Amino acid sequence: MIVELFVLPNWVTFCTTFVILLLFIHRLRLHRRKYNLPPGPKPWPIIGNMNLIGSLPHQSIHGLTKKYGPIMRLWFGSKLVIVGSSPDIAKAFLKTNDIVLVGRPKFACGKYTTYNYSNITWNPYGPYFQQARKMFQRELFSVKSLESYEYMRKEELHIFLHKLFNSKNKTILLKDHLSTFSLNIISRMVLGKKYLEKSENVIISPEEFKEMLDELFLLNGVFNIGDFIPWIQFLDLQGYVKRMKACGKRFNRFMEHVLEEHIERRKDVKDYVAKDMVDVLLQLAENPNLEVKIKRNGVKAFTQDLIAGGTDTSSVIIEWAISELVKRPEIIKRATEELDRVIGRDRWVEEKDIVNLPYVFAIAKETMRLHPVTPMLVPREATENCNVDGYDIPKGTMILVNTWTIGRDSDSWDNPYEFIPERFINNDIDIIKGHDYKMLPLGAGRRMCPGYPLGLKVVQSSLANLLHGFNWRLPNDMKKEDLNMEEIFGLTTPKKIPLEVVLEPKLPYHLYCL
């Protein structure tokens, strides 16, 4: 990461800055002497180790881990960062010391894009967060709630497959189809209608909606220099804060429109029955028995969580899965044999069928191991002093768990850099409850993703039907060795170059008709 230089306006500012730097360096040295910190590279003045972090931070940190070990100390500016890169250290962070390492750093993205830390992702741990998590688990993502929306997911899946059928034998950008499909599902479940369809009363264009979400994910994952060197934050050297403010304003305009539509719909209706998740949130906000009152910004922030968390993650996983599979026709063949045996060729795969498709589920698991949608879990912060593996972790330390490295741990996985779904057949590796720290695609502990039941349903059923309904190949006689597998870093990690692919239908024609 390159720190841009700036011009000091006068000698007074220069002298003041120089004194601050001396005090900063002095305090930093005292701070280091006080604690037994893990090993790590020697930091530079002011920037710490930020010069070692490239455009793909998880890979930069992976390289440093090889030298300094599974628990490592870094300095991002004046912020002490402890990185865990092994299953044992991840367990110590996310289970043994979960209650102590459950905080969130106060980053600019949380302030400007999530209603001043009002969402479940960036909110500090406390009564508000605990209440929000219960709401998500018991009201929004309960078994009963997800079953009530299953018909929506089924309808959107059929529309998605129909559109792919109409693109048969043509080169397509799979990402475009996946993102539209995911957004339509989430829009119906959360907002009550599809916001990617053009209409007279549209508040936002489909293109702007997708662009807004892409920007949100990018800005919530960037390394913003001002977060780690607070006294230069006002300069906004990278321009990220300006973009965060603009993104926040665009989202707020959209969210205000959504809330007003829902409030108007509920007006003067006695015993109104919630039709979508925003309705549920508005009803909860009116509940006088809530421990912490949910204000209007809270409803908007939770709605934003639901939209963002349910779209990009599933489409990213599926695109990576198909990217791996087009390079390995033998895996597609085995998955097809399982699908033909269990499902047959006269119907589509339903959500209830997934339990009987262990090899297809193994492909999804292997994709999440090798291409974790969040290669580093959202940063945590120590709320108290604690000790891990014999090292001190002072209060206020930022905690990173590098799931990208953990998924490549040679002590946990044979041939860790190879895509081998068979490793998940006939074993007890758990990815759903977050109890197996060899693989953490959904996180673990109190900060584990609350929407994982929905995400897994969408990923499993979508991937199964894509393999069941189509043959896949690379376009224009492209060789599998030429397929670009580079990443882009953000809150999620999609492919740098979207997958271009050609598909051919293989089921009876009538199944693709609406």
Q: Please state the residue numbers annotated as binding site.
A: 449
Identify residue 325 by its one-letter amino acid code.
Answer: L
With 0-12 / 13-18 / 19 or more C-beta atoms within 10 angstroms meaning exposed / middle / buried, residue 146 is middle
Tokens 């500016």, located at residue:
77
Tokens 């421990």, located at residue:
291
Contact 321, 463 (CB under 8 A): yes
Give percent helix, percent strand, percent coil of the chain, each to the nearest 5: 55, 10, 40
First-last CA distance in the chain = 50
Long-range contacts of 289-293 (CB under 8 A, 24+ apart): 290/131, 291/127, 291/131, 292/127, 292/128, 292/131
Distance of CA 127 to the CA centre of its chain: 24
Residue 343's closest CA among 357, 327, 330, 329? 357
For residue 152, give both structure tokens: 């929506």
Residue 376's closest CA among 117, 144, 53? 53
β 79-84/470-473 pair status: unpaired
Q: Please state the residue numbers annotated as binding site for heme.
A: 449
Please tell me the distance from the alpha carbon of residue 55 to that of residue 230, in angstroms, as a whole number. Answer: 21
With 0-12 / 13-18 / 19 or more C-beta atoms within 10 angstroms meaning exposed / middle / buried, residue 398 is buried
Please tell me the distance from the alpha carbon of residue 189 to that of residue 438, in angstroms, as a whole number. Answer: 33
User: What are the residues whose beta carbons fall under 8 Å from the beta carbon of 318, sequence distance 6 or more?
Assistant: 174, 178, 459, 462, 463, 466
Tokens 């990173």, located at residue:
400
Contact 319, 175 (CB under 8 A): yes
Contact 179, 160 (CB under 8 A): no
CA atoms in the 13 A half-sphere facing the CB of 139: 21
Collapsed DSSP state (helix, strand, coil) of residue 470? strand
Find the helix or strand (DSSP H, E) in which 503 lies.
Answer: strand 500-505
User: What are the residues whose beta carbons fall under 8 Å from the beta carbon of 361, sequence distance 6 or more?
Assistant: 354, 424, 460
